[in-house]
């Protein structure tokens, strides 16, 4: 599971806890992507449906993805109300200062300071306190040949220096569940609030305003992504292990499709192009051969599933 951690550096006037404008921008971007990708035969949608030719029904795969999303949110996106209140209070204080309401800003900041002191007392070891989270899935509806073609086309454009044209293609090459969590940085935020109160007491409203803007712009955003093809491969292998003794043909088909999903994950660049994928491909081939020969496959399925799950966590 890939994690990207970065800090907002752009100054903001008011940063809403739930990024409605951000969601609107994402939706517009998705519409643009769908329009531009047609020549390449790709389709990136928020809830894409995989081809019906797969051995596992599309609705089963989508249900599995939905479960993964809920698990990720439950595990990674704990909300702490006091932290949310502190940020909302900071926004209110900023708005009050912008309207010249110094006394109101001071009163709100006093409440914010109290919330932060409570957080410091409850979570003394936590450097980051979660205030909000969202989860999205970007499911690529395509096939391996189309993805390979898109990669080659992007490389040609980059080699010619057409970076932005290449970016429009690369932006489509994503198939993942993405959890975005916003955190309150406890190393810097409490000091910033105290500094604002000090500046206001000194009559330095403009400086206080700038410190508040900076404090809101340094909320930390953590993105964690899990590739959809690997989630699909895991579901297919697990189902194959359950039917191996009673429906060998179905199990073979599921393993074939799992192999295809892992190839898709590799082609999309999830994880290093090292021996990890090659190892799983060999294991799938070994399980398939033993199935065809009527041999026991329980231990092999168990090992294969462990490798796929380890890869999912690693990426």
Concatenating the DSSP letter of every residue in 189-221 gives HHHHHHHHHHHHHTT-HHHHHHHHHHHHHT-EE
Domain ranges of the chain: 2-227, 228-314
Higher pLDDT, 292 or 12: 292
CA atoms within 13 A on the CB side of 196: 30
| Pick from 119, 106, 115, 127: nearest CA to 88 | 115
- Measure the CA–CA gap between 256 and 66, rounded to whole angstroms: 23
Q: What is the mean pLDDT of residues 216-239?
A: 92
Is residue 195 pLDDT above 90, yes or no? yes
Residues 6+ apart with CB under 8 A from 105: 93, 94, 96, 97, 200, 208
CB-based burial label for 295 (10 Å; 0-12, 13-18, 19+): exposed
Of the candidates 246, 250, 225, 228, the residue with the CA atom closest to the CA atom of residue 237: 250
When computed from its CA atoms, the radius of gyration of the chain, rounded to whole angstroms, is 25
Provide the token pair at 268.
């999309």
The alpha carbon of 141 is separated from its chain's Cα centroid by a whole number of angstroms, namely 18
SS percent in the chain: helix, strand, coil, step 5: 65, 10, 25
Question: Cβ(251)–Cβ(295) under 8 Å?
Answer: no
Calpha distance 174→131 (Å, rounded): 27
28-39 pLDDT tens trace: 333 333 333 333
297: helix, strand or coil: coil
In angstroms, what CA-CA distances link 198 with 73, 83, 183, 237? 38, 22, 25, 61
Give dist(CA 136, CA 154) in Å, integer: 25
pLDDT at residue 79 in the model: 65
Question: How many Å from the N-terminal Cα to the C-terminal Cα in the chain?
Answer: 4
- Judged against a pLDDT cut of 80, whether residue 18 lies above it is answered with no
- CATH assignment, 228-314: 1.20.120
Average pLDDT, the chain: 81
Higher-scoring residue by pLDDT: 99, 64: 99
67-71, 100-104, 265-269, range with the lowest pLDDT: 67-71
Give yes or no for residue 42 having a pLDDT over 90.
no
Contact between 19 and 3 (Cβ < 8 Å): no
Q: DSSP labels for 58-121?
A: HHHHHHHHHHHHHHHHHHH----HHHHHHHHHHHHHHHHHHTT-HHHHHHHHHHHHHHHHHHHH
C-alpha to C-alpha distance for 188 and 162, rounded to whole angstroms:
41
């Amino acid at each position: 599971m890939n994690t990207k951690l970065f800090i907002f550096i752009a100054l903001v006037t008011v940063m809403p806890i739930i990024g409605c404008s951000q969601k609107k921008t994402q939706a517009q971007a998705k519409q643009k992507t769908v329009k531009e990708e047609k020549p390449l035969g790709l389709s990136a949608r928020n809830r894409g449906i995989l081809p019906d030719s797969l051995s596992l029904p599309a609705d089963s795969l989508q249900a599995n993805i939905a479960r993964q999303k809920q698990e990720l949110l439950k595990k990674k996106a704990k909300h702490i109300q006091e932290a949310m209140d502190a940020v909302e209070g900071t926004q209110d204080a900023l708005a009050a200062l912008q309207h010249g309401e110094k006394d109101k800003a001071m009163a709100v900041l006093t409440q914010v300071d109290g919330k932060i002191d409570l957080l410091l007392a409850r979570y003394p070891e936590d450097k980051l306190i979660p205030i909000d989270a969202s989860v999205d899935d970007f499911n690529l509806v395509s096939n391996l040949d189309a993805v390979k073609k898109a990669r080659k086309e992007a490389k040609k454009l980059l080699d010619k220096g057409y970076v932005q044209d290449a970016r429009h293609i690369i932006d489509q090459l994503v198939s993942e569940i993405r959890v975005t969590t916003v955190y309150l940085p406890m190393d810097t935020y409490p000091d910033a609030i105290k500094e604002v109160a000090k500046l206001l007491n000194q009559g330095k409203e403009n400086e206080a305003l700038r410190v508040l803007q900076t404090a809101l712009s340094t909320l930390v955003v953590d993105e964690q992504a899990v590739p959809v093809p690997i989630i699909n491969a895991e579901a297919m292998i697990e189902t194959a292990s359950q039917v191996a003794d009673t429906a060998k043909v179905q199990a073979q088909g599921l393993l074939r499709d799992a192999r295809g999903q892992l190839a898709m994950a590799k082609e999309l660049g999830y994880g290093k192009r090292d021996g990890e994928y090659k190892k799983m491909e060999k294991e799938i081939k070994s399980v398939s051969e033993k199935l065809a020969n009527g041999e026991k496959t329980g231990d092999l399925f168990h090992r294969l599933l462990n490798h796929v799950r380890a890869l999912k966590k690693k990426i």
